[in-house]
Amino acid sequence: MKTQPFGRLGQVSVLTLGGGGLGQLWGPTTREECVATVKAAVDAGITLLDLAPRYGDGKAEQVVGEAFGGRLPTGVRVTSKCNLGNPPPERIERILRQSIEASLRLTQLDRLDLFFLHSNIVARGNPMWRRVDTSRFVPLEVFQQTIRPLFEKFVTEGTIGAWGVTGIGHPDAIIEVLGETPKPAAVQVIANLLDSPGGLKFFDDPAKPREIMAVARENGVAVMGIRAVQAGALTAEIDRPLPADHPEMQDYARAAGYRALCATLGENPAVLAHRYALALPIDTLVLGVKNRQELAECVAAAESGPPSPDLIARIEASVA
């Protein structure tokens, strides 16, 4: 599989195996199939595994631990995350350390190559703080004054190789963080045809994923594209029951023209959505697959390369 430079981690594969499917978040699968999928991904040349405790309450990390027994194949790297929220500052270091220790225990590893803040970074005073549930939010200034120095400390200690941020908080806050020093090694950014975070969007302003990608590039921050099929909205059919007013179902309706175009072209919508995402300015694309069949489709998409400029224009016009 093709590889690309990925900042401090060196070369990584253009595809990353994500933990959402392995944690059984994206439809039914089995533990055995998830373990087989991890092994098949590495056999196909995927060198980065993107995990988090939230993916199935640790199931995704357990799957990787079971697959390799703590001895990763040469060149394979693992990430994890912490959904910190907004605890009192004096508790932050303990929470982050406990999250890292739990991830290491489940994956059976002694170090995480990359550790992400999984919370939404939001400036105080932003209307997002008036939501009923703000458990996924962390104040921008708390990140700057407390969390970022702790991440640097963990790197110095050797518990993690580098740190990053999940770019689904308020875009203005993410852009500010990307321009500051010390910079994150990587940022995870929405990378799909709709530019949509779907159910992960907690603000009314535009999500600005392409602007975030551009700012990351300008600052030498590696970009991991996420949600290529927008949680199923850009596939032939969403594979789990959701209410009609759910953001993913609304995006599925928005993509009706895209599915019609795929039918005309004889293309699998999920495969073409991954090819489209790979044409965006990202360094690696995180897959949300839950079985070997879906994995094989994504690997085939990567091998086919991005769509031609003419086809990209038709794809974008289908949802304009």
CATH of the domain at 150: 3.20.20.100
The strand ranges marked E within 93-167 are: 114-117, 120-122, 137-139, 163-166
What is the largest distance, in Å, between two alpha-carbon atoms of the chain?
58
Give me 110's structure tokens. Answer: 């002694």
Counted domains in the chain: 1
Model pLDDT, residue 220: 95
State the Cα–Cα distance between residues 39 and 64, nearest whole angstrom.
9
pLDDT value at residue 24: 64
Amino acid 171: pLDDT: 97
Contacts of 78 (CB under 8 A, 6+ apart): 48, 49, 51, 64, 72, 107, 109, 112, 113, 114
Distances in Å between the alpha carbon of 143 and those of 85, 109, 176, 233? 11, 27, 11, 32
Peptide bond before residue 182 is cis, with ω within 30 degrees of 0: yes
Euclidean distance between CA atoms 282 and 300, whole angstroms: 18
Domain that holds residue 197: 3-317
Query: How high is the mean pLDDT in each 10-residue block of the chain (320 residues)?
Result: 91 94 71 93 97 79 94 96 94 97 96 96 95 93 98 98 95 98 98 96 94 97 96 90 94 98 97 97 94 94 95 97
